[in-house]
Structure 1
Amino acid sequence: MTSPTTPGRAAPRSPIGGLVTLSAAQFLIALDFSVIFVALPSMGADLDLSASAVQWVVSAYSVFFAGFLVVGGRAADRIGARNMFIAALLLFGVASLAGGIAGDASLLLIARGAQGVAAAALQPSILALVNTTFAPGRERTRALAVWGTVGASGLAAGVVLGGLLTTVSWRWTFFVNLPFAIVCALAAPGLLPGRNDSRTSSPLNVLSAVLCTATVLVSVLGLTLAADVGWSDPLTLGSIAAAVVLLVLFVVRERGSAQPLVEPALRGTRTLLVGCGASALYMASVAGSEFYLVTLMLQGGRGFEPLAAGIAFLPLAVCITLGNIVAGRLVNTLGVGRTLPLAFAIGAVGLVLLAVSVHNHSYWLAILPGLIVSGLGHGMIYTSMFVGGTRDVADENQGVAGALMTTTQYAGGTFGVALLVIVLGTDPDDGTFLLAFLLAGAVALAGTVWSWLGFRAPAAQGGGAVKAPAGEPVAAGEEGRTA
């Protein structure tokens, strides 16, 4: 990764136009993950999908996304972030078209997996392009704040838009991606910086990427089988055992490789490791799990139509955006070590409110208060966890660090949904929804403890940290970083 002043790199014609393009692509990634949730019941009924197949419509995307993120970052370094950005958008468009015209479960799941691979190539290139377009310090911090806000808002907006589109057909939840992909790909050559040909490229470690993806895939398969046939079934036990073996092989491969996916310096960065753990707990609680549970409860237990369910998520979308704004201010005054635990605690309170209100079927009295509180926590977590997780990482490793955090984020969401399937069973009622929301709340509470203990210590010395000039306040995103 290079700074904006590195010789040999074509400068962007318009930094603001570039940021709009990159933000639109980030919105596409988040939108595609969440837009499916409201459409799941209609999709399952139309294609006669089993409960496990419906879960895999969500998991196929997030598993391949999580598995290929780091290798996507390496590929972007090798062929150029802008080239990877355009190629990933084209693949995203083709996969979305295939999903929209799918007539059976096989093509639908293949399309979702392809979308996940495309997103895994797209996400690191977005982060790399932000860092090469905007100078380190306040300028880059403001750009990353916009990126974080758009990403978090895209998750909520996807559920709302999914409700609107599903009233026409669930297929439009795939077709809606095409305009974003086409416009961003066409805008990229004129608005985004080109490749720096003077830098050296490290070879891709394909074997490590395959082992990483296989570990996540087989682990989720084991959890899915546990929900279908039980924990003692030979297929379940075999899948879990295979996941453990694959994990060991991945670790051995990384330790013995001259070109590991994750550099040793990053493995030893405490705040990055804490940030990765926080991102996994975030997606397993107030992000992916909450969307999944509320969608099922509204359309299954409360009889909401897809459009009504989407509109019901509007307050959540507004509160997520507000939470991002609040987090940006609090990080400057309280620091990440206090802001992130507070955000997780607020999210946990919102989930508990949803849990204790499941027997009251009034949206206004039972569901809305929990959505408002958890939405504030959701937005606050998203911004502050990336600020804290990358604050001690050198600029040249920011793309890989962001990929690692996003990998654990979506892997956490996949595991969270798989566990909830086990808790809810085949015929969920108010009692099982109560347990599921309490489980998600417990995970958010674990995030409170994890982030409080992890970010309580002072930031590491060095590591590419940035120090504000004398007399100037430290910018958001650089809190606690010392030169």
Structure 2
Amino acid sequence: MPLAVLSAAQFLLALDYSIVYVALPGIARDLHLGLSAAQWVVSAYAVPFAGFLLLGGRLAERVGPGRLFVAATLLFGLASAAGGLAGDGPVLLAARAVQGVAAALLQPAILGLLGARFPAGPARTRALSVWSAVGASGLAAGVVLGGALTRYSWRWTFLVNIPVTLACAAGAAIWLRSAVRGPADRDPVGAALLGTGAAFGASLGLTLGGPAGWAMVALAVVLLALTRAPQPRSLRVGAVAAALYMASVGSEFYVVTVMLQDRDGLSPLRAGLAFVPLAALVTVGGAVTGRLVRRFGAGRTLAAGFVLAAAGLAWLAAANRGYAAAILPGLLVSGLGHGIVYTSMFNVGGRDVPAERQSSAGAVMTTAQYLSGAVAIAALTLPLRAGSYSAAFWATAAAAFAGALVALRRTAAD
């Protein structure tokens, strides 16, 4: 049961990142938001999620991941209720930001509990494979569930979280009370604030464009350079892989959603159903990754996943007209790669990290993941606003290809 509770919580975090994709047109219409403003419904979650993960990792080690898990889950549920009842754009964006902070506390608590409950070696590899496979399927399932719920109201994409958070909090109180605490190091508040400033500045700058926008992007680069580089080397590789994952197949859902609804005129329900094959292949990819890692190693498996992801995204870039002949094959291939990448990158990143530091290590990787996600969504909005869907897909394919090169370099170094 402990692994089931942790996997359900991870499913929720991933689900909530993508569940609003299909709902964005309805949210924008009801709350009078343009495309650039509507993408902040995604970024308002991703930016604080990325920025406060380092702080969340240290808090998990100091107060205990079990306690932090319960508190963060309940906060996530309250923010979800506020988002579902929001009457205007600012209230909704504020609720999404609180969700992001709660997620930043919850994610490292989950990883800390995984490290404490499952010792390094085959047991932890199996647990990470199950947990990450469920998380990857959550990102894919979000767009499917979002399409079904938006048929009634976009508000249900927020309200649906409430029973899940209550169940996870209750399960944690029963099965996950005890956990390892690390040394009482100083909380990296400065690093967390720098990370948040970098994500916010880059996202806003790319959204605004022009001289002021690019000045904000430059400032974000400076802020990011001032944050600490992760150690050891396996964690650095895992963090880079996580960033490139989110810039490639992690952002694919956003591009496909905008394309299906804005260009092809599909309803939210039909757009959500179009993602069912992708969600199925993501789940399959995550499910087979554990066996692939045991047979070929995490580095080679990660590289193979990125190659599949790049191939599927390139297919979508080259032939994105017509669902059955053009879109579906790209979704299937990229979905399989997606599941493999998501599951294997945590095996790569956490391999050399002791149990008492799993919370902080996971925070570093997820910071890279969601910082990249916030910037990628803002960057992809530029070609999408111009109707250049192929350019957006080529950009995600290039990120996946770069991920394959990083993974192969790591494998060669081993």
Q: Same fold (TM over 0.5)?
A: yes
* Cα RMSD (Å): 1.6
Alignment equivalent of 1:393, drawn from 341, 344, 353: 353
Structure 2 residue 79 is matched with structure 1 residue 116: no
Kept in 1, the 8 Å contact 2:119–2:355? The answer is no
1:167–1:94 CA distance, 2 compared to 1 (3 A): same
Query: 1: distance between equivalents of 2:290 and 2:117?
Result: 21
Alignment of 1:399-478 (within 5 A): 399-425=359-385, 427-428=386-387, 432-458=388-414
> Any idea what the Cα deviations from partners look like across 1:328-373, whole Å, max 9, x if unmatched?
2222222223221111111111011111212x3x211111111000
Alignment of 1:326-405 (within 5 A): 326-358=288-320, 360=321, 362-405=322-365
Query: 2: distance between equivalents of 1:346 and 1:123?
Result: 27
Q: Which amino acid aligns with 1:279?
A: A
> Any idea what the Cα deviations from partners look like across 1:393-446, whole Å, max 9, x if unmatched?
223222211111111111111221111111222x51xxx111111111111111
Structure 2 residue 243 is matched with structure 1 residue 280: yes
Q: Which amino acid aligns with 1:159?
A: V
After TM superposition, give the deviation of residue 212 of structure 1 in Å: 2.0
Query: 2: distance between equivalents of 1:274 and 1:136?
Result: 19
> Any idea what the Cα deviations from partners look like across 1:53-80, whole Å, max 9, x if unmatched?
1111111111110101110011111111
After TM superposition, give the deviation of residue 325 of structure 1 in Å: 2.3
Structure 2 residue matching 1:219: 3-state secondary structure: helix
Highest RCO, 1 vs 2 (Cα 8 Å, sep ≥ 6):
2
Query: 1: distance between equivalents of 2:219 and 2:313?
Result: 34
1:132 is aligned to 116
Query: 1: distance between equivalents of 2:191 and 2:405?
Result: 32
Query: 2: distance between equivalents of 1:452 and 1:225?
Result: 36
Unaligned stretches of 5+ residues in structure 1? 1-16, 255-261, 459-483
1:191–1:69 CA distance, 2 compared to 1 (3 A): same
After TM superposition, give the deviation of residue 200 of structure 1 in Å: 4.2
2:217 is aligned to 240
> Any idea what the Cα deviations from partners look like across 1:27-63, whole Å, max 9, x if unmatched?
1101111101010011101111022211111111111
1:400–1:347 CA distance, 2 compared to 1 (3 A): same
Structure 2 residue 16 is matched with structure 1 residue 32: yes
Structure 2 residue matching 1:456: 3-state secondary structure: helix
Query: 1: distance between equivalents of 2:233 and 2:120?
Result: 22
The ranges of structure 1 where at least 4 consecutive aligned residues each deviate by more than 3 angstroms after the TM superposition are: none
1:76 is aligned to 60
After TM superposition, give the deviation of residue 195 of structure 1 in Å: 5.0
Computing the radius of gyration from Cα coordinates, the structure with the larger value is 1
1:245–1:66 CA distance, 2 compared to 1 (3 A): same
2:49 is aligned to 65
Once the two structures are aligned, what percentage of the paired residues are identical? Answer: 53
Alignment of 1:151-166 (within 5 A): 151-166=135-150
> Any idea what the Cα deviations from partners look like across 1:305-339, whole Å, max 9, x if unmatched?
11111111010111001111232222222222322
Query: 2: distance between equivalents of 1:402 and 1:244?
Result: 22
After TM superposition, give the deviation of residue 126 of structure 1 in Å: 0.6
Structure 2 residue 146 is matched with structure 1 residue 146: no
Q: Which amino acid aligns with 1:91?
A: L
After TM superposition, give the deviation of residue 143 of structure 1 in Å: 1.5
1:310 is aligned to 272
Q: Which amino acid aligns with 1:246?
A: L
After TM superposition, give the deviation of residue 378 of structure 1 in Å: 0.4
Query: 2: distance between equivalents of 1:412 and 1:193?
Result: 33
